[in-house]
Amino acid sequence: MNKDIFEGKWKQISGEAKSWWGKLTDDDMERAAGKFEVFTGLLQEKYGYTHERAVDEIDKKVTEFEANLKKKTV
C-alpha cells in the first residue's frame, strides 16, 4: 500500500480501523492522525507486529474495505 493513499483515505478508514484492531484507543487514533508510519508503529506496539507485518495487515484491511465500498456502489 502506498502511504500517500493511506493518508488520503484516513478519514474513511479511521472508523473501521478501531474495529479491525480493537486494542487501539481513541487516543491512539488521534496520535496516528492518518500518518502511515505512526500507525504502523502503533500496530507494532499494541500487537507485537514487525514493521513488515503491520504494513501487510494495513494493506489487507484497506484493500478489503475498498472492495466492500465498490460492492455497495454497484
CATH at residue 18: 1.10.1470.10
Q: Residue 71: what pLDDT? A: 82
Q: Are 29 and 18 in contact (CB under 8 A)?
A: yes
Domain that holds residue 68: 3-73
Q: pLDDT of 49-63, one tens digit each?
A: 999 999 999 999 999
What's the whole-model pTM score? 0.87
Structurally, how many domains does the chain consist of?
1
Which helix (H) or strand (E) segment holds residue 15: the answer is helix 10-20
Q: Are 46 and 24 in contact (CB under 8 A)?
A: yes
Angle between helices 36-47 and 51-73 in degrees, nearest 10: 110
Q: pLDDT of 7-37, one tens digit each?
A: 888 988 898 999 999 999 999 999 999 999 9
